[in-house]
Structure 1
Amino acid sequence: MSEMVDWELAVTVGGRLAGPGPVVPPDVAAAAVAELRDGADRSTGLVREFTGLAAAERTAPVLVVDRPGWVRANAEAFSIMLEPVVAKLQEKKGAPTGLTAAVGSRVTGGEVGLLLGFLAGKVLGQFDPFHEPSGRLLLVAPNIVHVERELEVDPTDFRLWVCLHEETHRVQFTAVPWMRDHLKSEIDALAETVDPGAALEGGIDRLVEAVRGSGSILDVVSSPAQREVLDRVTGVMSLLEGHADVVMDGVGPTVIPSVEKIRGKFDQRRKGVGLLDRVLRKALGLDVKMAQYRDGAQFVRGVVDKVGMADFNAVWERPENLPSKAEISDPSAWVSRVL
């Protein structure tokens, strides 16, 4: 893998592009970190009580990180996720050697760094399921502080609100241990569909179209076979993101006095704060991510309203019970098939 991507260069470029975030006095920064750790711990019981999902204790640590720390963590995660895809490419085309390998890996590393650097200023938190042995939860302190200031909301309330969402992801993977292996198998399935010739043919044109706003980078590598896998992954990710949104909105009113104000302002911010930001979100496929929050939440609420949370939890019993992309838009179809 290191022969095709210079991950250290990616970390360097991404960290520099991301920048340090807002200027915060040391005592204020220390208090924010402590409050986020406390919020994550507090959220565990709240999520368990609301969802009925019980995660094993002392698994998947919570890490409060800065932007460069998030970049490094995601470079590590990318290297794991992309390993089967790169192995397939090397098998079909042969691994590059010598100067070609050195130059190519640095070019790719720089491109990955640019992507991570842009995202590092956007992400509030993230669960990394592929970190050994049981994943890890990342909370990006400078971004959380930046957004709470931008939205002019109560910092304590906002930090707990973010923790509720991200802790739900940690519970999803630690209480449902097969989920990690399932996602890994889908990535492996995606690797099996890789055709270097097809991926490169017309790729530049489609990339230009993506940047112009008429598509996303996902379109560059999406053959029909890949689309099939991506549709399955979309169903799963919509479930996970929507479920977390439902939990944070369900628990929020009981423990966060200003949750209604936070939700209203945050939803507006998700639409993008400027033309350039909106173009980049679309080009990078982040508009798809926003749709996952919305559609997934509608699916979860639709099922829970119909059958209750206990029966909804059948979705976590085995991979066959996960909703398809089509069922995300039709909760009744999932209820009929699974229940």
Structure 2
Amino acid sequence: MSDTPFGFGVPPEEPEDGDEGKNKGGQGGNQGPANPFGFGPGAGGDNPFAAMFGSMNPNDLGAAFQQLGQMLSYEGGPVNWDMAKDIARQTVAQGTADGTKDASVGPAETAAVQEALRLADLWLDGATSLPSGASTAVAWSRAEWVEATLPVWKELVDPVAERVGAAMGGVLPEEMQAMAGPLLGMMRSMGGAMFGQQIGQAVGVLAGEVVGSTDIGLPLGPAGKAALLPLNVAALGKDLGIDKNEVRLYLALREAAHQRLFVHVPWLRSHLFGAVEGYARGIKVDTSKLEDVVGQFDPQSPEQLQEALQQGMFQPEDTPEQKAALARLETALALVEGWVDAVVHEAAKTRLTSADALRETLRRRRASGGPAEQTFATLIGLELRPRRLRDASRLWASLTDARGVDGRDALWEHPDMLPTATDLDDPDGFVHREQLDFSELDKMLGEAADQNRPKKDDPDEGDSEK
């Protein structure tokens, strides 16, 4: 895990002799000072704000200071999400490292994605008892993915970023806080800008690599909207030597399976996001570092705050509560991904000749700390241990053999029924151990069904209202 949970960039390098007027981003034009405000690297050459401020020649200085003023006047939450969106869109517009540029999705690509998702849902009907969860099938460009997922990134990141804002207000003695109010307000505004910069950059990079709306095992898009990104699907399959239609269909199976789970397990979303928030509450801020920054903060040198943030100001507390929150989140994410892996494999293994190869490719992509995991770890300070995914997949497959599809999927009726982190250490033991009383499980399911049955089914309900 990175020592900087929010992934703040490394300090800008000093320009070499003779390089002061060069644009390292390769976009041409007069660049002026390489990094006048001291922000970290990103879109727009060495400085993501360069793209926002322009080439920094004299004609652009007015606009640059106007932008700086807007940053300092920000009074919203812990993250400047307007800035995050702008930088994410700029990062997407620049294209990926291989030179691939974003483009609008054409009618033929949209039709191919919709057909793949339709067929995927048909195949999944025989692999899970959960009905289709996708009311809409869409093909997104990278920019559309950014727009659609930012509201969920806000839910994920704000609880952790809030820790910084709270810490900034508490580092000074109470009698000094009134005097230092304007300074602390400026630092909060700058902090919001720093978070917005880094999150926008990370989301923009991730938009160039994800293939759908559920790559990190969380519902990033709107409920019931299954989505694929044709440009990224093609990039993933380019070097695999597998027919592009099979690649698209396999990824459609994964997207559609995620949608079934998130739509028809109503408590799952709040369970996952509650686990993220619970973990965030255990993040502490190194107040000694923050006190140094507050005491020495120079409004003309905002890079001081940037440097403090990137030096590991955030650390998870080593407490039983924090460890439990981390285990809860890791286990929940692993169970989601393991279930999807097992269900998709069952649906694809007799229909796609490349099913095994695609399954292993995606497993390795996750296990090697692929882009989704890395970005999640960067923004939340959390790493999902790859071995949990294979353990969870094996557990769900074993449950299918022992209980059938209906018995396996019935465990999603309530969070207390799900396997624990200890069970993932011994999947076969969870399935076969004698103390797992399935008659008690059936009783719990019956009680849950009675509680969830609409009141109109109660013959006495209508009489009570007369």
Which TM-score bucket, shorter chain as reference?
A: 0.7 to 0.9
Structure 2 match to 1:174: 263
Q: Does the CA-based 8 Å contact 2:250-2:355 persist in structure 1?
A: yes
- Identify which range, 322-331 or 164-173, moves more after superposition: 322-331
Cα distance in structure 1, aligned partners of 2:153 and 2:81: 9
Contact 1:151–1:266 under 8 Å retained in 2 = no
Q: 1-side partners of 2:201 and 2:410: how far apart? A: 40
- 1:10-44 Cα offsets, whole Å, 9 max, x none, are 22323333444575998995423321122112222
Q: Which has the larger radius of gyration?
A: 2
Structure 2 Cα separation of the partners of residues 194 and 9 of structure 1: 24
Q: Does 1:305 align with 2:401?
A: yes
Q: State how far apart, in whole Å, the 2-side matches of 1:56 and 1:182 are.
A: 18
Identity %, equivalent residues: 23
The offset of 1:3, in angstroms, is 3.0
* Structure-1 residue corresponding to 2:244: 155
CA gap of 1:148–1:102, structure 2 versus 1, over 3 A, is: same
Choose 163-172 or 291-300, whichever is displaced more. Answer: 291-300
The SS at the match of 1:170 is helix
1:114 matched to 2:114? The reply is no
CA-CA distance at 1:328 after TM superposition: 1.6
Give the distance between the partners of 1:314 and 1:52, measured in 2 at CA.
Answer: 9
2:37 match: none
Match of 2:84 in 1: 10
Structure 2 residue aligned with 1:139, among 228, 231, 242? 228
Where 1:323 maps in the other structure, the secondary structure is coil
Q: Given the superposition, is the C-alpha separation of residues 83 and 265 from structure 1 closer, same or farther in structure 2, using an over 3 Å criterion?
A: closer
Corresponding residue to 1:70 among 145, 150, 153: 145
Which 10-residue stretch deviates more, 183-192 or 89-98? 89-98
Q: Which residue of structure 2 aligns with residue 214 of structure 1?
A: none
* Matched letter for residue 300 of structure 1: W
Please say if residues 138 and 225 of structure 2, whose CA atoms lie closer than 8 Å, have aligned partners that are also in contact: yes
The range that moved more, 91-100 or 136-145, is: 91-100
Indicate the residue corresponding to 2:422 in structure 1.
326
Of 201, 206, 211, which aligns to 1:124? 211
Shift, 1:149, TM fit: 1.2
Q: Retained in 2: the 8 A contact 1:130–1:180?
A: no
Per the TM alignment, residue 320 of structure 1 is displaced from its structure 2 partner at its CA by: 0.4
State whether residues 124 and 144 of structure 1, in contact with CA within 8 Å, keep that contact through their aligned partners in structure 2: yes
Number of corresponding residues: 323
User: How far, CA to CA, are the matches of 2:128 and 2:353 in structure 1?
Assistant: 21
2:121 counterpart of 1:44: yes
CA deviations on 1:192-232 (whole Å, 9 max, x unpaired) are 4344458979xx999779xxxxxxx9x94354322211211
Relative to structure 1, the CA distance from residue 194 to residue 183 in structure 2 (aligned partners, 3 Å threshold; closer, same or farther) is same
Please report how far the alpha carbon of residue 77 of structure 1 lies from its aligned counterpart in structure 2 after TM superposition.
Answer: 0.8
C-alpha RMSD of matched pairs (Å): 3.9
Following superposition of structure 1 onto structure 2, how do residues 175-214 of structure 1 map, counting pairs within 5 Å?
175-197=264-286
Shift in alpha-carbon separation, 1:109–1:88, aligned structure 2, 3 A = closer
Read off the aligned partner of 1:175 and give its amino acid letter: H
C-alpha distance in structure 2 between counterparts of 1:303 and 1:182, whole Å: 22
Name stretches of at least 5 consecutive residues in structure 2 with no aligned partner. 1-74, 171-180, 291-306, 439-466
Deviations 1:297-321 (A, max 9, x none): 1221232233332222232111101
From the two aligned structures, give the one with the greater helix fraction. Answer: 1
Tell me which moved more, 30-39 or 285-294: 285-294
Under a length normalisation based on structure 1, what TM-score does the superposition of the two structures give? 0.78
> Using the alignment, how far apart are the partners of 2:87 and 2:310 within structure 1?
21
The answer as to whether partners of 1:53 and 1:171 remain within 8 angstroms in 2 is yes
Among 66, 70, 81, the residue aligned to 2:156: 81
Instruction: Give the corresponding residue for 2:190.
Output: 103
Residues 1:248 and 2:344 are matched in the alignment: yes
Distance change in 2, residues 1:220/1:166 (3 Å): farther
Would the aligned equivalents of 1:148 and 1:155 in 2 still touch at CA under 8 Å? yes
Structure 1 SS opposite 2:269:
helix
How many angstroms does 1:174 deviate by?
A: 1.1
Other structure's SS at 2:419 match? coil
In structure 2, what is the Cα distance between the partners aligned to 1:206 and 1:102? 14
- Residue 71 of structure 1 contacts residue 116 of structure 1 at CA under 8 Å; is this kept in 2? yes
Q: 2:108 and 2:101 mapped to 1: Cα distance?
A: 11
What is aligned with 1:212?
Answer: none
User: Does the CA-based 8 Å contact 1:14-1:117 persist in structure 2?
Assistant: yes
Structure 1 residues 24 and 86: alpha-carbon distance in aligned structure 2, compared to 1, 3 A threshold: closer
Once the two structures are overlaid, the 10-residue window that deviates more, 142-151 or 73-82, is: 73-82
1:171 offset after TM fit, Å?
0.1
Q: Aligned-pair distance for 1:191?
A: 4.5
Distance 2:400 2:413 in 1: 16
SS of aligned partner of 2:126: helix
| Distance in 2 (alpha carbons) for counterparts of 1:271 and 1:194 | 25
CA distance in 1, matches of 2:144, 2:318: 34
